[in-house]
Chain A
Amino acid sequence: MSILISPDTKIMVQGITGAFGGKHAGLSIDYGTQVVAGVTPGKGGQTFEHGDVKVPIFNTVAEAAAATGASVSTIFVPPPFAADAILECVDAKIDLAVAITEGIPVKDMIRVKRAMEGSKTRLLGPNCPGVVTPGEGPDSSGGCRIGIAPGYIHKKGHVGVVSRSGTLTYEAVYQLTVKDIGQSTCVGIGGDPVNGTSHLDIIKLFNEDPETHGIILIGEIGGNAEVEAARWIKDNCTKPVAGFIAGATAPPGRRMGHAGAIVGGAEDTAEAKIKVFRECGIEVAETPSDMADALLRSAKAKGIELS
């Protein structure tokens, strides 16, 4: 198994007629993902074509879901309209909305997050690379690729990866794959201050997933999401976990004013987060080159087989 999505998952793409959305919808189709619908208001009835594959386009998310059974949407809508696109998924009771869009105003996300409370829909992102459950074909094809991650670097297996950053996720995945260690699901939760799904939400799903044997948790400075996840891991997670925090050298002067330091608390620096990781039994990757090895160290210490 895997978390959030499986190779059977049917997905729609909001913004499929844009250059970026169209390109990545095509790459997902190539990967073997079931892209069953596109949504572009005003272009309902048209078709998105990629090779021999023809994807019907609808005016609304609700229509697309009703006609095709798509349960997940990928959002490539430009920033001024992206919050509305997410709310449309909530209204249509879509299971999972994955917002790739970078640059959504914080206030829009504050409102969206509040509006989503108690709703059926889970949001991943925004400003995230998406989520990949690798398949069994060559270069991990036949899996489900939602978003913009390179599919071919993956390999089907048993490590869960969760990160705020796209390229750091790829870095970790690639390190695993060249060591012949596969992944169950790789999740980018996005780099914005207000996002849908947290590190902890994903860690809980990995913990419950019998196919996930080990976890790589990649974080950054700012906020306390990594610390929250680490404390939960200490009390609840028996699987090996490796952690990395980016931004140890980020200049403090570039943080938001003085008041941010109070509200963020004392635990939002890289140093503080790494300290908490160690206290919680997470094997810390000393450098970004060390992420896969750190997980191997942790697995070995716990006597758990990763591949």
Chain B
Amino acid sequence: MNIHEYQAKALFEQYGVPVPQGAAAKSADEFATALDSLPDGPTMVKSQIHAGGRGKGTFTNGYKGGVKFCPTKAEALSVAGEMIDNTLVTIQTGPAGRKVQTVYFTVACDIKKEYYLAILLDRSTSWPVIVASTEGGVEIEKVAEETPEKITKVFVDPAYGLADFQIRELIFSLELNKLEAKNAAKLIRKLYNCFWETDAAMIEVNPLITTPDDNVLALDAKVSFDSNALFRHPEIVALRDLNEEDPKEIEASKYDLAYIALDGNIACLVNGAGLAMSTMDIIKHYGGSPANFLDVGGGATKEKVIAAFKIILGDANVKGIFVNIFGGIMDCNVIAEGIVDAVKEVGLELPLVVRLEGNNVAAGKQTLADSGLPIVSGESMADAAQKIVNLVA
């Protein structure tokens, strides 16, 4: 689960991680109050959406820049008016963009130098890793590729936690002066506590900055949480912003379906995450383009199949449907009945190819054949994928 920058910074403050003073506003009515809480002088105005590349983004009304520096609060007020309720398109949002529903004002700090700092899981060791670099405020992938020696990683032993010597190692790699080093050490310790105690999946601070008076601040904050651990963090769940999520994905989660919208035109309905991923792959392999990832899970009931059909048909781009079920324990006939009921209920007009395999498959195929519906049967994954690709072509 992702949260907004302003929420992440509030969380940082709870853990004692210094951030520039700021205030969020959810409508134009709240701008004045928010700005009144900040000192006079240069102010940053930052669009709050769950996507990167905001600064270089463009609004659909032509206004350029989702993050702006303003010399005065008066100017910040007018810039915020351009952003709120408008749709921002960045390299990460896709062409549809995201509507800005919150604007965050912060004091524009004097920056001496920008750094990079992140904490996440290292999969090869299964330990948390802290990543730091002297190259902040830029794309870290580029730094990793071009100058990997400028990236320092320390791996934190979960049995003992973050050790002082490891913090020193990070600090030395950042080539800080004495006061900066002292401040950065405190910040890293507190940021790690925040990561560990909130079950964060990743914390990324880009940039982390030093100021002319040797303070160290998190100028940006990107935080995501392990969704498996949300049951023990009601305070984090409260930060969820449904406006930032695809309505179809929210609807799917109500039925315990894993759904991710994509930009193709062949909808997929599959059981199992691995099979669902490879169903997308095989569509692509035969020249088609998947419209979604959809895993109905192991215990797919008739109700779930009907809900899944409604969700995939809610995507206007869909030109055909591919149902791929390997019913191991699950009865293929139950799935077949669900498909028939769903098709009757939603009145399907698009081509539908079904590949059923596994438990009680003969009865399942018979149910589909007896339904009188124009359902095309696929013999194998490859056969079914080719059929649906040809039908939508």
Contacts and interface: CB of A to CB of B under 8 A. Distances in A.
B328 to A, nearest CB: 4
A113 interface: yes
Contact of B329 (A148, A168, A264): A148
Interface in A84-110: 103-110
B64 to A, nearest CB: 23
B274 A164 contact: yes
Given A249-B290, A256-B120, A171 B326 contact: yes
A249 B284 contact: yes
Given A191-B273, A194-B126, A258-B139, A153 B328 contact: yes
Contact of A246 (B126, B153, B260, B277): B277
A108 B118 CA distance: 21
A249 B262 CA distance: 10
A150 interface: yes
A68 B134 CA distance: 59
A284 to B, nearest CB: 12
Nearest to B120: A259
A153 B283 CA distance: 25
A191 B157 contact: no
A259 B226 contact: no
Nearest to B127: A110
Contacts, number: 187
B272 A168 contact: yes
Nearest to A221: B277
B260 A251 contact: yes
Size category of the B interface is 35 or more
A161 B381 CA distance: 19
A150 B359 contact: yes
A247 interface: yes
Contacts of A27: 329
Contacts of A225: 123
B298 to A, nearest CB: 7
A110 B124 CA distance: 12
A225 B140 CA distance: 24
Nearest to A175: B380
A263 B280 contact: no
Contact of A262 (B126, B140, B260, B274): B140
B162 to A, nearest CB: 13
B325 to A, nearest CB: 9
11 contacts: A106-B228, A110-B128, A165-B273, A166-B274, A194-B126, A246-B281, A249-B290, A259-B131, A287-B281, A288-B282, A289-B282
Given A114-B157, A257-B120, A262-B131, 8 more contacts: A105-B199, A106-B228, A148-B298, A150-B328, A167-B275, A168-B274, A169-B274, A250-B280
